[in-house]
Structure 1
Amino acid sequence: MSLPKRRKVRTLVLLFFAITFTTFLFSYTLRDPSIYFFKYAFRLSDNFFSRGPCACRRCIAEPEDESWFAERFNQSIHPLMTRENSVLSDDTFRWWQWLQSERQPANFTEVVEELFQVIPDEVLYMDAGPERCRTCAVVGNSGNLKGSRYGAAIDSSDLVIRMNQAPTSGFEEDVGARTTHHVMYPESAIDLDNATSLVLIPFKTLDLQWIVSALTTGTITQTYIPVTARIKANKDKVLIYSPAFFKYVYESWLEGHGRYPSTGFLSLLLAIHICDEVSVFGFGADQYGNWHHYWEENHLAGAFRHTGVHDGDYEYNVTLLLADNNKIQMFKGR
């Protein structure tokens, strides 16, 4: 057989085997697609493991080499109280009771039991993962919000957290109109609409008794000052800031500065633990260095900076460090 003929036969034979093998492989995978399973499983696992801890562009819980944040951030401490995590160590209980010097508190265990007969006992916001992107706006009360026109940006967040009085009516262009979570304590309590979650910061056992009373009988009218006896709020959306988390914020993040953290700083740390991206509005002084609330006139400047219990300068410096570490985005206003 001549060389050209041999080459032609060889080519035909190779083509025959190629067609036969391809046909066999196709028919086999129809019966057993597992060979494709391995191919795509490896591809999916590569995609999964290359993703971050959340679906946002940047995640608060993103592991990184920076030690400052990693040394302070403890994701295992849940910020909200449930029956299960309400048991406090002796050290935590003593510290918490010391905050406002409650001398003869009621039985804490009994109060907690009564509390969760009135409000839900749910574990919330534990759904963190690569599929979630929860954006949150923490809206402080600084006068630097005046003229800022941040309202639309604030309202676009999934959760909008405000604190204490924080009026929105008449200020919507600068501070927004939505509120999903309103943080307060008995002495700063206001009425809420039915869609807003009331987040109570308790400083003492009496505060837990107060929220039960304020939602039911209205019998408690005095703490260390007169307080609102009854409030309008959806009792099915009431949340309690955990005293253990309160202490963690004070020790890990403020390192003992001040007597205890401000409502604003406690709200910020709440957001850092339940959100994936946090934007912060209305913290710090205005452009002239004045410290006042956005609904007040400037002649009250300084009214909430030096209260005797908070270290406002230290808290603000920590907030700036969080921004410098790309854990939050700061909007400094005007």
Structure 2
Amino acid sequence: MRIVKQNRFKNLSELHKEWTEAGVKASRATTHRRMVVLQLRHQRYMTALLSSTTILLLLFFQNSVLVFTYGSYGFVSERSPCACHICVADRGNSNWFSEQYDPNVPILLNSVNSVLSTNVSRWWKVRNITLFPLFPDKEHYSDAGPDRCRTCAVVGNSGNLLGSNYGPLIDFHDFVMRINKGPTEGYEKDVGSKTTHRIVYPESAMDLDNSTHLVLLPVKILDIQWLVSAFTTKNITQTYTKVPSTIKANKDKVMILHPEFIRYVYDNWTEGHGLYPSTGFLTLIFALHVCDEVNMFGFENETINRLQQENKILIHKGWT
């Protein structure tokens, strides 16, 4: 009986040992299966992460190409029209702008383009006048290209620039265009002191320093007659109101907006509203044609706001 009991205990001991060994083996198998599952999950996670990273890198470099090509507006061109970050002459990124903007319209009058078409002549009511023995006879601003970045500030006469501290920013531009008699003296901190172009008509003319371009806006034949007289005979003192008989300005820097350009602005940009485009608005469109980057200071209207929406200009409103 004792032997039987010992055998029974022995069998129980062996059975327990077998169970223990089987449990260890099962545990090892379970652990192995878990490790395999974890490895598969890790591989899937790394694959997904790698794919996502690849996509993000592709998007990043794609956007970088777009940024370095035309800002961040998503239009890639093999040859940029200028060296600026954004080029106003690029008509590919705005259907609306492309419909309005004509890069071939004559901007400034010279002897070559002074013979007007019948339609323009009828609209402007002009007759031939001898101008160019007196004033520069050349094609201005024909140097546009991928290596040029000409920045321009168009400064209005609004009082909302007072206290703006825009003066240094305005003077930093290559060209600073001012309108009519817009003052600078005493307001340099807000409107700057630099003036490269002053766009006037006879009734708004003022004396200029030797480095500033006088850009005449001729809306009637008498305006050109006055310009010639102001530098020669000085005998015109009246249009529809009193005008200066002479003006202090550098005649070698005199420019005359082309009548066809004025009509183009009237037809394309104002859609025939009013008798003539305003001096400020003509100055803006003039800037769009001779500059690569345009910033507006001190005034706005519906079309100007649209130009900003189309990323063609940047408006600096000052205090409103």
1:102-181 to structure 2, matched below 5 A, reads 108-109=127-128, 111=129, 113=130, 115-181=131-197
Partner letter of residue 119 of structure 1? F
Q: 1:266 aligns with which of 255, 274, 282?
A: 282
Structure 1 partner of 2:121:
93
Matched-pair contact (CA < 8 Å) for 2:91–2:97: no
Alpha-carbon offset, residue 208 of structure 1: 0.8
> Any idea what SS the aligned residue of 2:152 has?
strand
Partner letter of residue 169 of structure 1? E
Alpha-carbon offset, residue 66 of structure 1: 2.2
Partner letter of residue 224 of structure 1? Y
Q: 1:319 aligns with which of 288, 304, 313?
A: 304
Alpha-carbon offset, residue 205 of structure 1: 1.4
> Any idea what SS the aligned residue of 2:296 has?
strand
Partner letter of residue 132 of structure 2? F
User: Can you give the 5+ residue segments of structure 1 that lack an aligned partner in the other structure?
Assistant: 1-46, 98-104, 285-315
Partner letter of residue 81 of structure 1? L
Partner letter of residue 88 of structure 2? I
Q: 1:200 aligns with which of 213, 216, 233?
A: 216
Counterparts of 2:206 and 2:122 in 1: how far apart (Å)? 29
Give the CA RMSD over aligned residues.
Answer: 1.3
1:232-271 to structure 2, matched below 5 A, reads 232-271=248-287
Structure 2 partner of 1:185:
201
> Any idea what SS the aligned residue of 2:133 has?
helix
- Summarize deviations over 1:200-221 as a string: whole Å, max 9, x none: 0011111111111101221111
Partner letter of residue 273 of structure 1? H
Counterparts of 2:184 and 2:137 in 1: how far apart (Å)? 30
Counterparts of 1:78 and 1:323 in 2: how far apart (Å)? 24
Counterparts of 1:124 and 1:91 in 2: how far apart (Å)? 24
Structure 2 partner of 1:306:
none
Partner letter of residue 100 of structure 2? R
Alpha-carbon offset, residue 151 of structure 1: 0.4
Identical-pair percentage: 55
> Any idea what SS the aligned residue of 1:154 has?
helix
Structure 2 partner of 1:35:
none
Q: TM-score with structure 1 length normalisation?
A: 0.71
Matched-pair contact (CA < 8 Å) for 2:170–2:191: yes
> Any idea what SS the aligned residue of 2:147 has?
coil
Counterparts of 1:127 and 1:65 in 2: how far apart (Å)? 22
Alpha-carbon offset, residue 325 of structure 1: 0.2
1:74 and 2:90 matched: no
Counterparts of 1:143 and 1:94 in 2: how far apart (Å)? 38
> Any idea what SS the aligned residue of 1:183 has?
strand
Q: 1:281 aligns with which of 281, 293, 297?
A: 297
1:24-63 to structure 2, matched below 5 A, reads 50-63=78-91
Counterparts of 2:121 and 2:239 in 1: how far apart (Å)? 19
Alpha-carbon offset, residue 65 of structure 1: 4.3
1:218 and 2:218 matched: no
Larger Rg: 2
> Any idea what SS the aligned residue of 1:283 has?
coil
- Summarize deviations over 1:116-151 as a string: whole Å, max 9, x none: 111010101011100000000000111111111110
Partner letter of residue 311 of structure 2? N
- Summarize deviations over 1:79-121 as a string: whole Å, max 9, x none: 1111111111222122223xxxxxxx7xx22x1x2x1111010
User: Can you give the 5+ residue segments of structure 2 that lack an aligned partner in the other structure?
Assistant: 1-68, 70-76
Q: TM-score with structure 2 length normalisation?
A: 0.74
> Any idea what SS the aligned residue of 1:161 has?
strand
- Summarize deviations over 1:20-55 as a string: whole Å, max 9, x none: xxxxxxxxxxxxxxxxxxxxxxxxxxx9x7341100
Counterparts of 1:259 and 1:203 in 2: how far apart (Å)? 10
Partner letter of residue 76 of structure 1? N
Counterparts of 1:71 and 1:246 in 2: how far apart (Å)? 17
Partner letter of residue 62 of structure 1? D
Partner letter of residue 96 of structure 2? W
Partner letter of residue 216 of structure 1? T
